[in-house]
Structure 1
């Protein structure tokens, strides 16, 4: 049985009403195309940081340039649920912890009636740790479209992150991003930029590493000093790109057959089965026993 899935490349800002209107438009388009799982970008509610690195938003205790902090059970998430109805959606936002102070760069998978799972970004690039605290777990969860795992942006550069989700049974990994072009020596054609190349390579590699379906969304356009590279895509467990937006805003839509594809691909070379955790070591020299 096939399921239609989609990944979005679009520009989200600090203007929450703009965000909701764009989400509503994208959800309407997804419904017309028969989509059952829709991946929206990192920071789709409230936008991402306006810059990174030496000129980034460097203080956790200031509201300067920072996205609005939102509770997982707050009215902003509830409004998204009202918009999406029975469509399963992954969306990124700045999460405010129960202590009322700690912020996380987070993602949530939901529909109008359920929150299926959420995730706090673990790996933080270029001073992002000065604006957000880091998460500490990778856990897959069941949804109407299959068992799903979540990642955010820089996480895709770490094979262990995707492998942790695959070992927890994830059939689909949704990787949402606000991935920009290189900060120096940026290519005139962003499709040829070295950071675009890495973004696309990581997506195909992580899908193939773990023989899972990989759905990658991204911001598009510009925000602050950042120029996003789009390239939202759907990748199959062989690392093949089934659909992509390239640099443009839009929606990459593909039909996937999770059960059928796994049965055919994994009956021969099955990477998770053929692992040798008895010989793997972490950077600390401790044997990996997962």
Structure 2
């Protein structure tokens, strides 16, 4: 599909669900007025994120959002034909009882298109969030798309499995903070700031896909978030980005055309040699 206008958001979202929904409605209205067809918002857009990764408060997790609840109903009405991806906390039943997942969803005005439960949990997220167990791509009006949630992108297998499932666009909502163990005085010099950008470019280039990275800004508890939302082309080139503060990165991308062009001579997925990788797939 030629000329998809893609937006990646850097913004702060906290625990107040009503306030978050109203803020998303404003962001969506602005994006639609600018012709955006795919908009990606951060992890924890609805209900916020943890305030401490080393000692998270298990008695005070982010509020749960139902996938068939009033919050997403309002956002579907606001979204219309646009494709919207964002993060929330989802409750689910398991053999251990009710657990919560750090979840990303993709929706349009017609309904829910896809869901991804974060698989890889950083530091001590596991005391609050249960792990997801799969990566699966799905079809959308802007092409076949795959979802990851922040720390998932640290692992090359995550994005690779989605690309092998046919995704040409990968959307990664994040609540990615500065280092919690070796904080730099300035965010651009922080180790996690460098890694956040490195993974965005590498995952796009490895898989020759369009990568859309959204992130929280500001602070929650003791965490200071990086921003740095961006749209990355299938050659690893940053097409648009925000800084450390709130903003919208916008890029017009011929998704199918750019992916095909990137793979014309060197086709990374087709040139894999799985038999040589041992236990890796």
TM over 0.5: yes
Matching of residue 56 in structure 1 with residue 56 in structure 2: yes
**Who is 2:79 aligned against?**
84
Counterpart selection for 2:257 from 256, 260, 265: 260
Q: Give CA-to-partner distance per residue, 1:143-192, whole Å, 9 cap, x none.
A: 00000000000001000000000000000000110000011332222012
Name the CA distance, whole Å, in 2 between partners of 1:171 and 1:264.
Answer: 12
Matching of residue 124 in structure 1 with residue 87 in structure 2: no
Q: Give CA-to-partner distance per residue, 1:80-106, whole Å, 9 cap, x none.
A: 212222211001000011467211000
Q: Higher mean Cα deviation, 181-190 or 238-247?
A: 181-190
Given that 2:170 and 2:209 are in contact with CA atoms closer than 8 Å, whether structure 1 keeps it comes out as yes
Name the CA distance, whole Å, in 2 between partners of 1:170 and 1:47.
Answer: 28
Aligned residues: CA RMSD: 1.2
Runs of 4+ more than 4 Å apart: none
Query: TM-score, normalised to structure 1's length?
Result: 0.93
Any gaps of 5 or more consecutive residues in structure 2?
Answer: none
The alignment partner of 1:139 has SS state of coil
**Who is 1:24 aligned against?**
25
Aligned length, in residue pairs: 278
Q: Give CA-to-partner distance per residue, 1:63-118, whole Å, 9 cap, x none.
A: x2x11112222222222212222211001000011467211000110011121110
Q: Give CA-to-partner distance per residue, 1:241-290, whole Å, 9 cap, x none.
A: 011102010110000111211222211001001000011123xxxx63xx
The alignment partner of 1:102 has SS state of strand
Counterpart selection for 2:91 from 73, 93, 96: 96
Name the CA distance, whole Å, in 2 between partners of 1:97 and 1:80.
Answer: 21
**Who is 1:227 aligned against?**
224
**Who is 1:148 aligned against?**
145
Query: TM-score, normalised to structure 2's length?
Result: 0.96
The alignment partner of 1:51 has SS state of coil
* CA shift for structure 1 position 27: 0.7
**Who is 2:41 aligned against?**
40
